[in-house]
Chains A and B, each alone.
Chain A
Amino acid sequence: MRAGHGRRHQGAGRLKASGGTIRTGAEVDQVLIRNGKAKGVVLAGGEEIYGKLVISNADVKRTFLKLVEEKELPDIFLRRVRNFKIRGSSGKVNIALDSLPEFPALPKDSPAYRADMHFTDSIERMERAYDDRKAGRWSADPFLDMMIPTTLDPTMAPPGKHFMSCFVQYAPPKIDGRDWTDADRDGFAESVIAQVAQYSPGFRDRIVHMEVRTPREIEAEVGLTEGNIFQGELTFDQLLFNRPVPGYAQYRSPVGGLYMCGSSTHPGGGVMGAPGRNAAAEILRDLAKPTLHMSPAHDVI
Chain B
Amino acid sequence: MTSSDLNWDAIVIGGGHNGLVAAATLARSGRAVLLLEAGNEVGGAARTEEFAPGFRVSTVAHLLNRLHPDVVKTLELERHGLTVEHGDFMPSVALSKDGPLTLHGAYGEVLTGASPSEQSAWKDLRAQLLRYAGVLKPFLSRRPPGLGGMSLAEMTGLGQTALALKRLGKEDMRDFLRVLLMNVYDLLDEQLSDDRLKGLLAFDATLGSHLGPRSPTSLLGLYYRLSGEIGGLAGAQVQPKGGMGAVVAAIRAAADKASVSVRPASPVAKVIVEKGRAVGVVTQGGETLRAKAVISAINPATTILELVGSREVDTGFVRKVKNIRMKGDAAKLHLALDRPPQFTGVDAADHKGRLVAAPSPDHVERAFNPSKYGEFSPEPVMEITLPSLADPSLAPSGACVLSAVVQYAPYALREGWATGKPRFLKAIMAQLETYAPGIGATVRHFELLTPADIEARYRMPGGHWHHGELQADQMLMSRPVSGWSGYDTPLEGLFLAGAGSHPGGGISGAPGFNAARHIIAMRA
Contacts and interface: CB of A to CB of B under 8 A. Distances in A.
B374 to A, nearest CB: 10
Interface string B151-178: 0000000000000000000010011011
Nearest to A241: B177
A235 interface: yes
Interface in A20-37: none
B256 interface: no
Interface string B207-241: 00000001010000000000000000000000000
Most interface-central of A76, A235, A237 (chain B CB within 10 A): A237
Given A85-B186, A235-B216, A246 B181 contact: no
Contacts of A134: 214, 365, 369
Q: What does DSSP make chain A's interface, helix, strand, loop or mixed? A: helix
Most interface-central of B186, B214, B365 (chain A CB within 10 A): B186
Contact of B175 (A127, A128, A236, A246): A246
Contacts of B190: 83
A39 B137 CA distance: 48
B195 to A, nearest CB: 13
B125 to A, nearest CB: 13
A242 B369 contact: no
Nearest to A123: B372
Nearest to B179: A237
Contacts of A247: 171, 174
A120 to B, nearest CB: 15
Interface residues of B, number: 18
Contact of A242 (B178, B214, B365): B178
B174 A236 contact: no
Given A134-B365, A237-B178, A237-B179, A124 B171 contact: no
B171 A76 contact: yes
A246 B186 contact: no
Interface residues of A, number: 17
B181 A236 contact: yes
A131 interface: yes
B292 to A, nearest CB: 44
B177 A127 contact: no
B171 A131 contact: no
Nearest to B472: A236
A114 to B, nearest CB: 35
Given A246-B171, A247-B174, 8 more contacts: A80-B178, A124-B373, A134-B369, A135-B366, A236-B180, A236-B216, A237-B186, A242-B178
14 contacts: A76-B171, A85-B186, A131-B369, A134-B365, A235-B181, A235-B216, A237-B179, A237-B180, A237-B181, A237-B182, A246-B175, A246-B177, A246-B178, A247-B174
What 10 pairs across the A-B complex have the smallest Cβ distances? A246-B174, A236-B181, A237-B182, A242-B178, A237-B178, A83-B190, A131-B369, A246-B178, A247-B174, A127-B372
